[in-house]
Amino acid sequence: MITTRFAPSPTGRLHVGNIRTALHNWMLARKSSGTFVLRIDDTDAERSKEEYVEAIRADLAWLGLTPDREERQSQRLEAYQAAFERLREAGRIYPAYETAQELELKRKVQLGRGLPPIYDRAALALTEEQRAAKEAEGVAPHWRFKLDHDEAIAWTDGVRGKVKFDPAQLSDPVIRRADGSWLYMLPSTVDDIDMGITQVLRGEDHVSNTAVQIQMFTAMGAEPPAFAHEALLMGKEGKLSKRLGSLGCDSFREKGIEPEAIIALLARLGTSLPVEPIADRAALLDSFDLSTFGRAPAKFDDAELERVNTAIVHAMRYDAVKDRLPEGMDEAGWHAVQPNVSTVDEVSEWWRLVTGPIEQVEIADEDRAYLAEAAQALTWGDDPWGALTSALKESTGRKGKALFLPLRQALTGMNHGPDMGELLPLIGEERARRRLERAAG
């Protein structure tokens, strides 16, 4: 059974790039009736905030991306320590004593010589006496995972196809800081083993991490999961980041964006499939296939999201929105204003045309007598708007804009809006006649 995971760090709010990764992992699991795991990567105690953990849960719930279970790295420190000790005993982890400044100087020298900035493994050349002297000076080591340079690292990526790395062209990664805290690489690998993760779908910025982690899986005697790396999502300012709060769920909710619109857009953004306003997740799951994912960065466009959102709102059934509509608004009211709104939040403004008060627009002098006649001609039946306009057309000879616009202005205070045939019955006979008489002066 397929098991996927979404592993955010609770150091900020989710942005749309994170949401896309969560969605695709959720879809990968759901399409095969598998398991979707939320893993909170909170080993960075200084930067991780509980408020962000709660926000991540809330955002996923709002989007309908409910995990089957949740794990927290901060509760698994003993497992990481045990793996660390095993790898250390096997000679796959070693201490290094360079400061950040010394490492930066080495990188600059290598780049200046036209060489790749790969760690030179100087720490491996230290004798026991030299290590002891360092620690006697108060220099605590950080710890690196020793890559095996004897064999190329290769895998078949679910998006990128065949991928191959020369491990000699990679730096031995730091897996633990001098203060004992963990970096991403080792805990993530241990978790994937212990949690039975079978598919890792993440951004292409993790490709080199995957090469390193494949060796970690092997060193711990585990079969690596299947890996897939999707192209990054770009915003107007370039690569998305947690700093772009305008591209988070809070902002989307404030703008009245429906979760179904976000799902419909992100499910296909960056694939060969067209982005369509599909609110049916089963239909999106049916077409979900990693083979459709492209290699080029996909651009997130607010205007496209708004277009999809508008189309989804226009297709929403009354039962799906009735609890969010203004008091007194029934199915007929929703049907009348629905074509004129881009978000459900806009409904209240249009419903005000029914309940009032409305702001009266300036009526042309030649239309006042016409509106007075309309007030007298108004009758009530199955189609009051059709009856009124037919009577006025016959009695005044007006047609087109001259026939309809003054009536709309008098009845709604606007030059455009919902279909008057649907709106007038909602306004009601008494209220409609008062508005016509008021406009007539």
Average pLDDT for residues 270-286, to the nearest whole number? 97
Rounded distance, CA 339 to CA 417, Å? 9
Would you say residue 82 lies in a domain?
yes
User: 98 near 126, Cβ under 8 Å?
Assistant: no
Would you say residue 198 lies in a domain?
yes
pLDDT at position 329 is 96
Per-residue model confidence as pLDDT tens digits over 387-399:
999 999 999 999 9
Would you say residue 332 lies in a domain?
no
Q: Which helix (H) or strand (E) holds 95?
A: strand 93-96
Would you say residue 49 lies in a domain?
yes
* Beta-bridge mates of residue 230: 203
Domain of residue 53 covers: 1-91+148-167+182-315
- Domain harbouring 161, CATH code: 3.40.50.620
β-strands 93-96, 142-145 pairing: antiparallel
Per-chain mean pLDDT for the chain: 95
pLDDT at position 140 is 95
pLDDT at position 305 is 96
Rounded distance, CA 432 to CA 411, Å? 6
Would you say residue 329 lies in a domain?
no
- Domain harbouring 360, CATH code: 1.10.10.350
Question: Taking the model in full, what pTM does it have?
Answer: 0.90
pLDDT at 243 exceeding the cut of 50: no
Per-residue model confidence as pLDDT tens digits over 82-126:
999 999 999 999 999 999 999 999 999 999 999 999 999 999 999
pLDDT at position 234 is 85
Would you say residue 326 lies in a domain?
no
In this structure, the answer to whether residues 278 and 211 fall within a common structural domain is: yes
With helix as H, strand as E and coil as C, how does 214-257 read?
HHHHHHCCCCCCEEEEECCEEECCEECCCCCHHHEHHHHHHCCC
In this structure, the answer to whether residues 252 and 308 fall within a common structural domain is: yes
pLDDT at position 239 is 63
- Domain final residue pick, 254, 285, 315: 315
Nearest to 201 by CA among 280, 281, 255, 270: 270
pLDDT at 401 exceeding the cut of 90: yes
Q: Tell me how far CA of residue 274 lies from CA of 28, 87, 277, 290, 307, in angstroms.
A: 19, 47, 10, 15, 14
pLDDT band at 242 (very low <50, low <70, confident <90, very high): very low
DSSP class of 33: T
Helix crossing, 429-440 with 400-412: angle to 10°? Answer: 110
| Dihedral of alpha carbons 275, 342, 61, 243, sign | positive
Would you say residue 37 lies in a domain?
yes
Per-residue model confidence as pLDDT tens digits over 6-37:
999 999 889 899 999 999 999 999 999 999 99
- Domain final residue pick, 285, 315, 345: 315
Per-residue model confidence as pLDDT tens digits over 34-90:
999 999 999 988 899 999 999 999 999 999 999 999 999 999 999 999 999 999 999
In this structure, the answer to whether residues 288 and 402 fall within a common structural domain is: no
In this structure, the answer to whether residues 259 and 386 fall within a common structural domain is: no
Rounded distance, CA 45 to CA 51, Å? 13
